[in-house]
Structure formats: C-alpha cells, structure tokens
Structure 1
Amino acid sequence: MNMAERKKVMSVLFAIMIAVIVIPSVSMGLDDTTPPTISNVHWQPQYPNDESGIIISATVTDASGVASVKLFYCYQGGCHPPLTMQGSGSTYSKRIGPFDEGLLEFYISATDTVGNEGSTGEYSIFIDGTNPNVEVTFPNGGEYLSGETTLTWYLNDNNDPSPDVTIHYSSDGGTTWELVDEVSGGTSYLWNTSSLEDGENYLIKITAEDRAGNTAADESNAPFTVDNTPPTTNIIFDGEKNGEWFVSNVTVSFSAMDTASGVNITRYRMDNGTWQHYTDPFVISTEGEHTISYYSIDNAGNEENEHTASLHINKNAPTLVVNTPQKGYVYIAGRPVMKTLLGTIIIVGAITIEAAVTDEVSGVNKTEFYV
C-alpha cells in the first residue's frame, strides 16, 4: 500500500472513529463544519543524516478546539502506524528516527472536537548518510610554492551541490594544523604564502561538510616546500693578479645557494651582451675592463636581484722606447758626437735620458731607470 492509498484508508477509519463525537455534537446544536487549520509544517534538522532524530512540527488551530493531531509516515516505501503528535499551545510535534539513508514521506492529519478532519499534503525528506567525496589535487607532494598559489581539490556529494569546505595547512608534516579559510563549495582557492616561513614539510588538508552534517577530509599525499626567499649568488674570479689588474686569463665561475627549494638556474651576461644560462666556468682572455651581470632563480620561482661585478685584464708589459741615448753613439755633455765601432753607448759628462713608454690597456704606472 503506497502513501496515497494509506491516506485514504486512514481517513475512512478516522471518520468512523469520530462518529460518536459528531452525532452528539450535532444534537447539541454546534454548527462547526470547518476542519482544523494545519500550517507552518517543518522539521529539524532540515537536512538529516543517518544519525539524526527528526522532529516534525506544525501549527494546528480550530475554532471549536483541536481533539487530536496524527503523524502518518512511510520510509523507503514501508508505511508505519500513525503517531500522536504532542501539543504545546498551537504547536504540535513528534520526534522520529534516526533512519538509514533513504526517503521519508509524511503528512499530518488533525481532528477538531466536533469531528471535522483536515490533513496536509505529502512532504518528502531525504535522509543523507553518505559522506562527501573530497581529494586534494594540488599541492599533493613535492611541489615548490612561492607567493600566491592556487590550491585545488576534487569535491562531490550525493545530495549537496555545494558542501562547505575548510582549508588547513601544516608546516610540520601534520603534527599541528592552522586554519587558512572556510569557503562554501568550489574546488579551488588562491592562497598567499608570503607570510609563511620557508620550509619543506608543508601539507594542505581539505575538509568538506555537506548540509546533512556528513564530513570527509583529505590531505596532501606528501610534503611540499614553501619558499619565499630568493637565492644568493657569488661570483669567483680565478687568475694571476697584480694589484687591481689581472695579468693572465681569468676563469669565471658562480656559486649559488638556496636553502629551501634549491637553485634552478643562474644567468649572466658580459659587457651588456646577451643573457646566458650558466653551466660551467668560462675563461675571459680579452684584455681590458669587463663588466659581468648575474642573478639566480630558485625552484619556487623566486628571482634574485641582479648583481654586477667588474674585472680588469692586462697581460702585456708596457712598451718602452729609449730615444736618448741611442745605441752606437758617443755622447759628450748630452750631445751625440760620433758613432762607436761596436754599437755601444759611451757617455761623457751629464746626459738627460729620454724614453717613450706606452700601455694601451691599463696605462703606465711608473718608469724606472737603472745605470
């Protein structure tokens, strides 16, 4: 027997049961033919689960007074005997359940003191005993995060299109958890990690709760790294040096460090040329002044500020040409007077030595003469 058929049968039974009330009332001259008014039908919780008892209530009023209020219900197609609803003023209620997951159908019937009967339409309640299905998809282990990043997860529920979601993070591998935010539904969230300490033991946990109170949670399968600190890069020059100048070829190398996510790449350029990826040390052999710009990027995408270093190379000694005295002459009082036979220089008296010294790279620092 379905709900509609049961309702018809129960109405007939109630008509017979109250006949003893109707006949005396008519003989007494009462003319109330209006059935009770049933309104404000509701139930709590609004979305019950398989652990919830359900309180069904309604407001019932009648001019001649309410004699009885009955609750008729069927669960998963099986109908149960009517239950008397308890009244407090004009409010009548009845607690039923809990029930396993399934469909509960009910209606309310009321009879007044002169036998008039009224009933509501049918109501349906779905008892939800299934937890949401939630799964973290990013970050799920091994990623490097920096600044703002989008968290993503899979979420599905059999009876709630938009379960509530609570997001937590752990910086110690799941020992403790901190709240990120609470959102209604959705499968992504923009998370700003800028205020977090660098670390490699972070986890994300997503907890979903449907409107029936069923919950489920999932967290990252493995730790991920949060890194908001750029790398540090040092430049190394290797060559023979004299003062501020290198007097040999110079080997250039870079040493970059990043304690959180590690260094991804180091880039450099020489004398404002094209940027290149650094892989191995390289040699500068061209004399002159050179400027090298460089920086590194870590695995989380943090980019170091550009640095600049200069070096000077001069591998050749200055050029010196003695103009006075010249080989093969005899000088008297500083003046050449005759040639010598063996190409030697003979100086008699005082002489001013004159020489031209040039260095096109670094310039001449000093010139010394020895006799």
Structure 2
Amino acid sequence: YFWEFGDGSTSREEKPTHTYQKDGIYYVNLTVTDDGGKEGRTTAEVRIDMHTPPETEVVIAGLYGENDWLLSSAYLSIDATDWSGVKFSMFRIDGGKWQRYTDPVEVKTNGYHVIEFYSEDVWGNREDIKEKIFKIDMELPYLLVKLSGERIDNWFTSPVEVLCLAKDNVSGINVTMYRIDGGVWKIYKDSFVIKEEGRHVLEVYTKDFAGNRKSWKGNIFIDTEPPFTTYSISGDFSKGGKVRVELLAKDNGTGVACTYCSIDGGDWKVYSSPFFVAGDGYHRIEFYSVDHFGHKEKVRCVEFYIGENPEVNIAKPEKAIYLYGNKLMSAPVAIIIGPIEVKCSYQPSYMVPEKVEFYVNGKICHVDYEEPFSWMWSERGFGFKELKVIAYYIGYTSVDRIMVFKLS
C-alpha cells in the first residue's frame, strides 16, 4: 500500500490515519501492488474547512454616470463562496438593522451609502465584516439664467448682462457652460454682457459631478443703436442732366420704421423710393432714419453739382526749380532736387473730392482721402517723370499731369 495525502505526506500502512494542518482541497492517491507486481490506483478528494470563512462580494448594479455616481436606483446583489458551503449571508445598509440576504436589494435614495456584509459557512466559520461605499444622484441640477438690462416688451434697449445661478444638493456642480449664436462653448465663471445689436440665441447648461445635466435656451433681442442710412447717386451731371438718388437704411434691431429726406433745404418728407434731382447748380440731399423704438439717426447728407464739372490741379510742383521742396526760380520745366511735397487744388471749392490718387509714370504711389490732398515724394530717381493726379467725385473724375525732371 502506498498513500499520497496531497500535502507532501505519504504512508505505506494499510489503514493509516492522517491529520491535515491547513484548510484546503486535497487529492488522496492510493496505489496497491500485489505479489505479482500488478498495481491498482484510486483517488479521492478531501475538503478541509475547519478555519477558512466564506468569501463574499457585493455587486452594485444600475445606471452609472460620471465619477462612479449612479444615476438610478442601486441594485445590490451578494455573492458568497465557500468550499464546504455557505450557510447564510448577512447585510445592513447605512448602519441599519442586520438582515439575512435572500434576494437583490434596491436602494433609491440620493446620497452616499454604505453596505456592510459577511457570510458564514456550514461549519460556523464567519468572515470579518466587509463594507462597500456607493453613491446615488438621480436629481438634476438647478439652473437659473437671469437677464438684466433696460427693456421694452421683448426687446432690450441696452446691453444685456447674463447671470447664471447653478446649484446641486447631491454630487455638487461640476461645470457650467454657455455659448452665443451657436459659437464655441465657453466655461461660465462670472456674469458677462452681450452688447451686439440684433437677435441672439443664448444656450446654457450645467452639469453635476454625477453627469446629470440641466439645459436652458433662450432668445435675446437687443436694439441700442439707431439705423444707418447709405446713399447711391447716378445719372447725368452735365448741363441740363438729371441725377438719381437712392437711400438704403438698415437696422440690426427692431428694424427701420421710416426714412426722411430733404432736398436743397426743403421740407422733410418720407422717403419711399428713388427720386431724381434736376437743375444746374449745387444740390444738397439730407436724410436720416428712425427705428421702431424711436432711435433716430443723426442727419447725414450728400452734395453734388449739375452743370459744372469739378476740376483738380497740381499746385506744386509748377514749372520751376525746387531744392528739397523749396522753390528757387521759375523754369521752362519743373526740375526737382531731393524730396518734395506734391500738393493739389480743386474747383469749385464746395465740391470736395472723395479721394485723390497720385501716380509717377503710371504707377500709383499714394491715395489721400482727406484735405489737404498731398503726398511727400521722397523716392530717389533721375530723368524725366510724368506726375499725375486723379480726383474722384460722385459720378465724375478729374485728371491733371505735369512732366518733371528728377535729380535725386
């Protein structure tokens, strides 16, 4: 007889006794050999469970959000294992009464919770009490968006201050975000102001640490400025001609209510469509617009002349010799040594060009939009050059040129 007890011990007795020192699962092998040398073998499983308690785990199921928070009820299942068999499992929640576990348990109150549990096997081995923490937040955050400013009905007549108040009594507020008119989402840190006129869409949401999200979306209408009116004139500016005047008003807020115009100092009239101005001489069209809140635009004007063509002239240099801009003496041709300031004059004086362009040999060198129309010509060169200016008026241009000899 040859016994192998599975823990390293053996025996050749026919009916030995053996004591196991540790709990565990052992496989005992017995080999019997007869006088003829033939062998027989058998194996038996021995389970020793004198000291080892069960192993118990709790599974917490439900809809999980962020940061291990549950967004739904928690469903608690206890699973215990033991070699010799589990006699029972016990649990209690949040320090309450101990209960024998039979079926999954539902917990549906918000906040932090603790489940304590243990099991005992059929031999009375009881494991130490374990605990597991879980947290539930099924409550949406509170979000209030407050809009402040001067208001008439649904329209603000001043910039709008936006204040967002977010609160969460369970997991706490993680972040509040906002965006305007479908733009980039921004983190809300403090109140902000929307100044731009027009119709805006404001979106705000706040999210707690569990992932619960509360959203807000609203329209903001702002009208703080009067309309702006532009003009377009075209036609025949020669003697006996007619000039067409068109006004176009725009308002980003409530919209244009009315446009008014006055011709040559006459009575103010409501503008409804383009009109023609005739008669040789000077003409002045004044105009302004008003929006639906009564915001009135400052009076603007456009001036033009029918029957007299405006004219631009090069006032400096003239036919003379110039040294660093100073005229020395008259000469048959303009001779320029060093830099010189080119100056223009125009007639009639009340018809101011919209702009004047300065050219040298056909290449544009400068554009001036304001009086006095001038340009500092400092580029070095040698030889004859054509100096040209072009003045732009409404519906007309005037050109003047002079040949100069440059020495610098």
Which has the larger share of helix?
1
TM-score (normalised: structure 2): 0.41
TM-score (normalised: structure 1): 0.44
Which has the larger share of strand?
2
